Every structure is written in structure tokens, then in C-alpha cells.
Amino acid sequence: MNNEQNRTLIFEILRYNPLIKGDTPKMEKYQVTEAPGMTIFIALNEIREEQDPSIQFDFVCRAGICGSCGMIINGEPKLACRTLTANYPKGVITLLPLPGFELIGDLSVDTGKVMRQMSERVESWIHDQEAEDVDLTRLEERMEPEIADEIYELERCVECGLCLSACATKRMRDDFLGAVGFMRLARYAVDPRDKRTGEEFYEIIGDDDGVFGCMTLLGCEDYCPKDLPHQTQIAYLRRKMALGK
Amino acid sequence: MKVIYTDSLVIGGGLAGLRVAIAAKQRGYDTIVLSLIPAKRSHSAAAQGGMQASLGASVKGVGDDEDVHFGDTVRGSDWGCDQDVARAFVNTAPKAIRQLAAWGVPWSRVQRGDRQVVINGEKVTITESDEAHGLINSRDFGGTKKWRTCYTSDGTGHTMLYAMDNKAIKLKIPVHERKEAVALIHEDGVCKGAIVRELITGQLIAYVAKATTIATGGYGRLYSVTTNAVISEGIGTAIALETGLAPLGNMEAVQFHPTAIVPVGILTTEGCRGDGGLLLDKDGYRFMPDYEPDKKELASRDVVSRRMIEHMRKGKGVPSRYGDHLWLDITLLGEKHIRKNLREVDEICQYFLGIDPVKEYIPVRPTQHYSMGGVKTNFKGESIGLKGLFSVGEAACWDMHGFNRLGGNSVAETVVAGMLVGEYVADYCADTPLKIDTKTIDSFLEQERVKISDLLNRERGENPFKLKKEMQKIMMDKVGIFRNHDDLTKAVEELKVLNKKAKNIALRNRISSSNPELVEAIRVPKMIKLAQCVAYGALLRKESRGAHSREDFPQRDDKNWLKRTLAYWKDENTDLPEIEYEPLDIMKMEMPPASRGYGDDQTIAHPDTEKREKEIEQILKDNPGIDRIQTQELINPVEVPERYQGKNERVGRGFK
Ligand SMILES: Cc1cc2nc3c(=O)[nH]c(=O)nc-3n(C[C@H](O)[C@H](O)[C@H](O)COP(=O)(O)OP(=O)(O)OC[C@H]3O[C@@H](n4cnc5c(N)ncnc54)[C@H](O)[C@@H]3O)c2cc1C
Ligand code: SF4
Ligand code: FES
């Protein structure tokens, strides 16, 4: 744990409430006395409780698990709850909301809407006519242990949206599906319970808004907090698409 | 006036709420889910460890079945649970997990052949059978006789919630995000929906429904240090209480988890100990076997937490600037296991503590974790005081956990209760016309509108953030793991003062739209009421049972206290809840009270216990040759919706 005590940290935070008429975006400065083990989560709450009760941001699990707290911290998209202030030796921390999402206010953005749309677009569920008629009293269908692990690897995505905010293609093309969608689709492509054919997957991502639009700049992989294998999977999907068609 | 009509309104988008929504939708009813946040971010996602279901596929689970699961659950509850509910639960859990497998959860699977595991500090080789290969695997958890906790590496809750939400998306169930239910609408003792605040615009909306389900999770944030999410504030539970009609059950039953990291309280899963991790003191000494020679680190949670505090009180804690703690040692599990099966733990250690759990010990301390209490319902999930109001998951006191819940039994409860209660909600929708006087809607809306405008107009008053902190400190210091008359009395008095102060909150940021201070101001008075239910219930309960541990009344007292606490808040102007009790009927129990098997048994027995034991003996004598399932049906017949009846198959055992 960090032993540097009582540093005074400077937070520069983008403040803007689109619901207040006439409000304009501005950077505001706050000072916080650092405590050992302090995270951006702890610091922001201190600012809200003691200095400015109007400041907006989103945290849920505060443990790096739920994906709520993505923001741009000194230029990099990160999960704020698991970012220690000690990682910033200069003691100046600039916070901006994640780009590419509708701004709710200050550091709070609407990731929920984008992720639901993504799920609807890639039809993020098992496609199997028979799944509803499974006899629940009987043994479950077997699965090879490695396949289960492989699916889980891809399902570790927490829909934080950091990959989208770091994606140059997405910035140019709003309809570009982005890494989170590719990961989701790859997850179903390796799942034997999903009976979709290569052709059906192609329908969803076989164009320039899909895998072929990716310029392989890999901002996504650099910033994914769950270390998902974007590069490998995008290549896998491309191969699969090429074969499927 | 904005009014939205639906058949089934579900407040809460975690595992429990989504499962109820799916059930009603599949039966053809219009359904809306409300959530503070996107559903997939609900706290269910944080469950790492696993879900209990007696599949018995892994070699260490062989011999497991509903009966063993039932016994563990009832003993775990310290006989405080509703045995009908626990029975329906254990019988349905295998079906629930198999359904989730069909819906996409990538449960970890059994690999045939040899596998090295750590049991009781030793490396042991176990051999999985050929016939179990590819079936759902299970791991060891505290308080269970078999390895019953099914899991997906250490992302069980995450994968369950994703599968559940994806299923809801497939069924086109709308989830209205960033909405907060702030009051229930009711008329003539029947619930008709909720008044909801849109958290971005601040608009108040009336959601009017035939059936309303509260699935808002736990209320860990009544305490200053908790493993729960920051949104686990119990508002759903509180709005039920505020109707004056719906009672809350067993609010004093609050679970502390043995291993949350110090100081921030983030959980390291019970899977750490289940997989072989040990608890060590400041001398590096493994102390649990001294206290609990039989189950050691894997005794029930309440027991381990108390033993840890006892050991620290003997001066064996590791001193730190945040007070004493103990060590969790998982180094013996090896790098491969930790990086794969305990990866969330690994990440938490690296990011929040800056340590590598492969090489270093983890500083841990018992921390608030789970709310056994909640909206008291019958076995159908319906409130016992307000018709048309249902509740499931951690928000509810369906009452399968009594005074202590077993690890892995909670996510299991969310999906099993969701399945069963979801059917009853659909039945209710079928039988109930949507009829309401618009004046009723109006008056409930107006009531909330006035409350908010009072808050926005008050010039001077209390700071809601400060009140919350004070409440959390009172709960932490005086209503914690060990409780006594003096501390509890103080807590009750101090909370009364806070209750009064909470009627006089004033804001610095006086806007009605998106405003975190206003959100806090709406929530804090409700949270204080819940805290009062916990503290007052704890003061009155003069015995120790499960997680409720009184230093001045160390015995479990079945003679006087085999009953469930019911807390009502009938009059807004009073400063204490009214407490009533509902006796548990031993003569209907499948498993009459006995010793839990920890320490010396000092239970004060109830006279019916012996009577019921004899009665059961007689029933068995009168019906020679019946199998275990017929036995259960005779001793403890339970009602389960037709589609979820039927015996469960197990590998190597069939349907027996
Ligand atoms: C760190 C941690 C680890 C755990 N691990 C395990 C485990 O391994 N095994 C196990 O069995 N159990 C575990 N548990 C317990 C288990 O995860 C929870 O009890 C369970 O997931 C609760 O699910 P739920 O659906 O009842 O509520 P939640 O998942 O908490 O969902 C609550 C929902 O209600 C919504 N909501 C709340 N208030 C309102 C309101 N006023 N208006 C509208 N919406 C509202 C929220 O937005 C959310 O969608 C763990 C708990 C924690 C904290
Ligand atoms: S792929 Fe990674 S960065 Fe993108 S949303 Fe998922 S977890 Fe976040
Ligand atoms: S708050 Fe959940 S990931 Fe940061």
C-alpha cells in the first residue's frame, strides 16, 4: 500500500450539465488530500460530499467488476474505481467523460443504451429452437471443459465501453460495431449451443460496419480492462466470415 | 401527469428481477423492468463464487441430492428458515441451473481423470469419472456436506446475469434504466404499482401495474464497510415498509463475510477457502482448526466471522493503520489455479492492494455482506400484508436463509425464486383486472412531488451525506457481529435522533433534474428507517441465532425465540418501527431443531421438538419401504408450479 502521505492532489474535471439551459462545458479544479490506497472512486466521492454535491459520475461495484465507471483519466480510458491516485506521481489528475456516448452530465455517460443496441444487433443470445423445450429434470447437455473455458474468456467483457472510446474507426463511423460487439459475436461463434451458421453471422458483421471496417489500430486491446484478446478474435471472425461466404 | 400501464412491473434488474420478468413475459403478460443502472451492472454480477445446486456430478459431490442440500440450508439458517420454502428451493435448484445452461451460462465442466486439489492444507489427487465428463462441475463452500457449488471460473454471477439479461433482451422485455422507485401506489390493501423518479430529468412517473415485484437487492450500505455495491441501499425494501402494510422480516439477520480486503471491504470469494485457502494470524498460525476442528475454515460464514473476531480480541490480529486484520493465504493453491480460477481475486489484489496473491497473503477482515431480512412474503413471493406486491431475491425475506445464508445459496435463490414466484406473478396477472381510481394515482404522485419540492425549497437544514455517514457508523460500531444490550440501546436511541434530523434535510444544489444530492436526500430517510428496523429488532431478540449473536444471550433459545421478527412502520410520525412476531411451527417441520454442530450445543430446546421427532418416527414406521422422495412428500409436502415439478436426474444414480 502507498505510504506517501498527505499529498495534495489536483483534480481537473470536466463539468457540464446539458439539462441546464445556457450551461457550457468547462474544466473545474478541486483539491483533495490523498490517503493511502486512494482510488479515483474514493476521491470523487470526497469531492461530492465535501466540496460540490452537484458533480455527476457513475459507480456501482467499485471493484472493477461491473463496468460502470469508464472515464478518460489523464488521456487514457480506464475504470476509475480501480485506478489508484498513487499511479499519478505529479499529483494532477484530469478527468473527462468517455467520448462516443451520450453525455448525461459531467463524467456520467449513457453506456446502457449503446450496449443494449449492440446486444440487439448481434442478437446476443443462444439461437436454438429447442432450448426452450429442454427437459429440466434430465442431465444437462454435456460440454467439453475447454470449450466452456473458452466461452468464458470472451464473456468476461463487462460492457464498459472503453474499447469503443479508444477506437479510431468508431469515431469516424458511428455505425461501426466495435470490439465489444465482435467479442460478443465471437463468444457465440465458439459456443456449440448456438446453432447459427457462418452465413447468419456474416449477415450481422460481414460488411464495413462489421469486422471488415476494423483498421486494426487496436486501441481496444490496449485499454480493455479485462484483457480480452481483440486482435486474435477479430482475425478469427474475419477468417470465419471469409469461409462462411 | 405521466402514467405508464403494464401487467407486471418489476423493480430491479438483477438476477431475481429479470427472472420474474422473463416468467411473466413468457406467459404472455406485458412486463417492464425498472433499474437504477443498466441491468447487466446490477450487483448480481459481483458474485464470483458460485451457485448451489445438488447435481452431484463431480466425484466430491457424489451422494449429494435435494435432501442433503436441504439439511445444510436448514442447519445453516440455525433453524430460522421457512422449511417449506427451503424444500421447494432445493428441489428446484437443479432445474434452474440446467435451464441457465440451456440459456448460455458457460458453467465450468468436469474433466475426466486425475486432478490435483488442496484439501485441509494438503495437495490431494482426486479422480473424476468418465461418465461425469462434460457435466457441470462443483466446488467446496462453507457449511456444506458435499461439493455443491457450481461455478463459472470466478465469474459465476457475471455469466448468470449476462445470460439472464440476454434472454430478457431476446424476449424484448424493456428495461427502463436510471429510474428509481420512490414509493408504492396502493389502494384498499392492494398494490397497484410505483411512483418512479427518472434520474436524469427528475420527472416523476406513475407506473401502474397489476402485479408489482420488488427485486432491489440487499441493503449493505446501511453499514460503513460492506462488500455490497454503492447502490445496495435497500430503497425497494424501504418503500414496502413505508406503505405501513407490508412488514419486513428478520431485519436483524445481517451476514458478515469472513474475507473482505482491508480497508475498502471488497470481497474475496469464499471460493478462496473452498479451493483450499487458509486463514492465518499475525504469527502465520492457522487458527481455525483450534476453534472448529471439524469444518475449520469452511465452517458456516457466521461462525468463521465470529471466530476471527474472537481470535483478534486475543491479540492475534495483524495490526495496521486501519485496525487489526488477519491473513488469507491462497499461495498454496499455486499460480496456475489463482490466475485462472481465482482471477477476479487476483485482479482485486493487484489493483486495490498492490500485492500478488500468488506470493503474498491477503489482508482480510469480516465485513457486512448479505441481508437475510427483507420484504416478508409467503411461499408464493407475495407480501403477507399487501396484496399484489411480490418480492424476490436479496430484497425479500422469502425465508429460505433464516438467520444465516450459505455461500452459493443466494444467486441460487434469485433464479429459483424468480422461476417459482414468476409463475405466481403470472397467475396473479391472469386473475386480476387492472382497475384503479385515477385519484389514487394522483394523490400518490402529489405526495412525492411535495416531498421533493420541500427538499428543494428548504433554506437551511441537515446535510444528507453527513446523516448517512453517521447512520453507517452507528450500525458498524453498535449493530455488528457481536451485539449487546448497551450498544444496541444506544444505537436505537441515536438512530431515533437521526430519523428526526432526516425530516429536515436541506440541499446546497437545489435543482430538480439529475442531482446526486437530491437522490441522497430522498434515500437517506428511508435508509435510516431500515437501520432502525435492524437495530431495534436486534435489541429485542434476546438470544443468539445464526448471524445474530448476542454477547449477553449467547444461547439459541428455541423455547422463546423460534419466531420470525416482523417490522411495520404504520405511522409516518412515529420514530420507531412496530415489531411483531410470527412463530415457526415445529410440528410442521421436516427437520425439527437440533444442534448445528459448532462448539458446545447450548440450545434451549422447545417442547415441540421432541414431539415432532416422535411423530416423524411414527410416520416412517407406518410407511415402511418408501423412498426418500415419498418420505419428503409425506413429512413436508410443498407446492411447486406444475412445470417445475418432477424428480431430478443425476449421473450414476438416475432419478432416485
Ligand atoms: C461481492 C459479492 C459476492 C457475492 N458472491 C456470491 C456468490 O458467490 N454466490 C452467491 O450465491 N451469492 C453471492 N453474493 C450474493 C448475491 O450476489 C446477491 O445476493 C444477489 O445477486 C442479489 O441479486 P438480486 O437480483 O436480488 O439483486 P441485485 O443484483 O443487487 O439487483 C438489484 C437491482 O435493483 C435495482 N434497484 C435497486 N433499487 C431500486 C429502486 N429503488 N428503483 C429501481 N431499481 C432499483 C438495481 O438497479 C438492480 O438492478 C455475493 C454478493 C456480493 C456483494
Ligand atoms: S471488450 Fe473490454 S473494453 Fe470493450 S466493453 Fe468489453 S471489457 Fe470493456
Ligand atoms: S464501479 Fe464497477 S467497474 Fe468501476
Question: For residues B264 and A34, what is the distance between their CA atoms, to the nearest angstrom?
Answer: 15
Q: Residue A12 to residues A41, A91, B50: CA-CA distances in angstroms?
A: 15, 11, 41
Question: For residues B570 and B48, what is the distance between their CA atoms, to the nearest angstrom?
Answer: 39
| Interface test with chain B among A56, A58, A66, A111, by most B beta carbons within 10 Å | A66
Q: CA B645, B651, B654, B656 torsion: positive or negative? A: negative
> What confidence tier does A244 reach under pLDDT thresholds 50, 70, 90?
low
| Interface test with chain B among A2, A57, A123, A125, by most B beta carbons within 10 Å | A125
Q: Which residues lie with the beta carbon below 6 Å from any ligand 1 atom? A: B 11-17, 34-37, 39, 42-44, 46-51, 156-157, 179-181, 215-218, 227-228, 231-232, 235-236, 267, 269, 370, 393-395, 407-412, 414
Per DSSP, B315 falls in state I
Rounded to 10°, the helix B156-170/A111-121 angle is 70
Question: For residues B617 and B609, what is the distance between their CA atoms, to the nearest angstrom?
Answer: 12
> What confidence tier does A2 reach under pLDDT thresholds 50, 70, 90?
very low
| H or E element that contains B197 | strand B190-198
Question: For residues B393 and B234, what is the distance between their CA atoms, to the nearest angstrom?
Answer: 12
Shortest Cα–Cα distance, A223 to chain B (Å): 15
CB of A114 shorter than 6 A to ligand 2: no
Shortest Cα–Cα distance, A4 to chain B (Å): 14
| Interface test with chain B among A57, A103, A140, by most B beta carbons within 10 Å | A140
Question: For residues B233 and B523, what is the distance between their CA atoms, to the nearest angstrom?
Answer: 8
> What confidence tier does A241 reach under pLDDT thresholds 50, 70, 90?
confident
Find the ligand nearest to A162 CA.
2
| H or E element that contains B328 | strand B326-329
- Position A5 scores a pLDDT of 58
Question: For residues A169 and A222, what is the distance between their CA atoms, to the nearest angstrom?
Answer: 15
CB of A177 shorter than 6 A to ligand 2: no
- With contacts defined as CB-CB under 8 Å, which chain B residues touch A46? none
Question: For residues B45 and B228, what is the distance between their CA atoms, to the nearest angstrom?
Answer: 11
Residue A157 and residue B152 in contact, taking contact as beta carbons nearer than 8 Å: no
Could you please report the per-residue DSSP string of A15-33? E--TTSTT---EEEEEEEE
8 Å CB contact of A140 and B41: no
Question: For residues B162 and A184, what is the distance between their CA atoms, to the nearest angstrom?
Answer: 11
CB of A218 shorter than 6 A to ligand 2: no
Q: Is A29 exposed, middle or buried (0-12, 13-18, 19+ CB in 10 A)?
A: exposed
Question: For residues B430 and B418, what is the distance between their CA atoms, to the nearest angstrom?
Answer: 18
Best probe residue, ligand 3, of A44, A45, A66 (max atoms within 8 Å of C-beta):
A66
Shortest Cα–Cα distance, B513 to chain A (Å): 8
- With contacts defined as CB-CB under 8 Å, which chain A residues touch B95? 136-137
The alpha carbon of B38 and the centre of ligand 3 are apart by a number of angstroms equal to 12
The alpha carbon of A151 and the centre of ligand 1 are apart by a number of angstroms equal to 24
The alpha carbon of A161 and the centre of ligand 2 are apart by a number of angstroms equal to 6
- With contacts defined as CB-CB under 8 Å, which chain B residues touch A112? 37-38, 41, 177-178
Cα B401 vs. chain centroid, distance in angstroms?
8
For the CA of A79, the closest atom of ligand 3 is: 4
pLDDT per residue as tens digits for the range B15-58: 999 999 999 999 999 999 999 999 999 999 999 889 999 999 99
Tell which residue, A80, A144, A140, has the closest CA to residue A109.
A80
The alpha carbon of B456 and the centre of ligand 2 are apart by a number of angstroms equal to 39
Beta strands A70-73 and A92-96, pairing class: antiparallel
- With contacts defined as CB-CB under 8 Å, which chain B residues touch A142? 109, 133-135
Shortest Cα–Cα distance, B654 to chain A (Å): 9
> What confidence tier does A205 reach under pLDDT thresholds 50, 70, 90?
confident
- With contacts defined as CB-CB under 8 Å, which chain B residues touch A194? 104
Q: State which residue of chain A sits closest to B111, comparing Cα positions.
A: A145
pLDDT beneath 50: ranges in chain B:
none
- With contacts defined as CB-CB under 8 Å, which chain A residues touch B166? 119, 124-125
Omega within 30 of 0 (cis) for the link into B263: yes
Question: For residues B154 and B158, what is the distance between their CA atoms, to the nearest angstrom?
Answer: 9
8 Å CB contact of A191 and B201: no
Shortest Cα–Cα distance, B215 to chain A (Å): 17
Residue B148 and residue B61 in contact, taking contact as beta carbons nearer than 8 Å: yes
- Position A1 scores a pLDDT of 45
Entry field: residues in chain B: 656
The alpha carbon of A62 and the centre of ligand 2 are apart by a number of angstroms equal to 17
Helices (H), B381-482: 409-431, 438-457, 464-478
The alpha carbon of B476 and the centre of ligand 3 are apart by a number of angstroms equal to 24
Residue B156 and residue B47 in contact, taking contact as beta carbons nearer than 8 Å: yes
Q: State which residue of chain B sits closest to A58, comparing Cα positions.
A: B37
For the CA of A67, the closest atom of ligand 3 is: 3
Shortest Cα–Cα distance, A167 to chain B (Å): 22
Average pLDDT (A148-161) is: 96
Best probe residue, ligand 2, of A156, A164, A180, A182 (max atoms within 8 Å of C-beta):
A180
Q: Residue B651 to residues A164, B62, B110, B147, B628: CA-CA distances in angstroms?
A: 45, 9, 12, 15, 18
pLDDT per residue as tens digits for the range B122-166: 999 999 999 999 999 999 988 899 999 999 998 999 999 999 999
Q: State which residue of chain B sits closest to A136, comparing Cα positions.
A: B95
For the CA of B239, the closest atom of ligand 1 is: 41
pLDDT per residue as tens digits for the range B88-119: 999 999 999 999 999 999 999 999 999 999 99
Q: CA B389, B531, B400, B644 torsion: positive or negative? A: positive
Residues B614-639, buried b or exposed e (16+ Cβ, 10 A)?
eebeeeeeeeeeeeebebbeebbebe
Q: Which residues contact residue B438 at a Cβ distance below 8 angstroms, ignoring those fewer than 6 apart?
A: none
Query: Residue B382 pairs with which residues in a beta bridge?
Result: B390
Q: Which of A59, A113, A126 lies closest to B230 in CB terms?
A: A59
pLDDT per residue as tens digits for the range B502-531: 999 999 999 999 999 999 999 999 999 999
Per DSSP, B545 falls in state B
CA–CA–CA angle B568, B569, B573 (5° rounding): 155
pLDDT per residue as tens digits for the range A181-197: 999 999 999 999 999 99
CB of A160 shorter than 6 A to ligand 2: yes
Q: Is A34 helix (H, G, I), strand (E, B) or coil?
A: coil
Nine-digit cell string for B65: 441430492
Q: Which of A66, A84, A105 lies closest to B41 in CB terms?
A: A66
- Position A61 scores a pLDDT of 97
pLDDT per residue as tens digits for the range A55-85: 999 999 999 999 999 999 999 999 999 999 9
8 Å CB contact of A53 and B267: no
Reading phi first (left if > 0) and then psi (alpha if -120 to 50, else beta), residue B153 is in left
For the CA of A64, the closest atom of ligand 3 is: 3
8 Å CB contact of A136 and B98: yes
Question: For residues B171 and B402, what is the distance between their CA atoms, to the nearest angstrom?
Answer: 34
Task: Report the catalytic residues of B.
Answer: 257, 273
Question: For residues B290 and B31, what is the distance between their CA atoms, to the nearest angstrom?
Answer: 53
Nine-digit cell string for B435: 382497475
Q: Measured in Å, how far apart are chain B's first and last C-alpha atoms?
A: 58
CA–CA–CA angle B295, B297, B303 (5° rounding): 75
The alpha carbon of B159 and the centre of ligand 2 are apart by a number of angstroms equal to 15
Question: For residues B76 and B547, what is the distance between their CA atoms, to the nearest angstrom?
Answer: 10
Nine-digit cell string for B487: 450498544
Q: What are phi and psi of B488, to 5 degrees?
A: -65, -40
Nine-digit cell string for A237: 471472425
CB of A204 shorter than 6 A to ligand 2: no
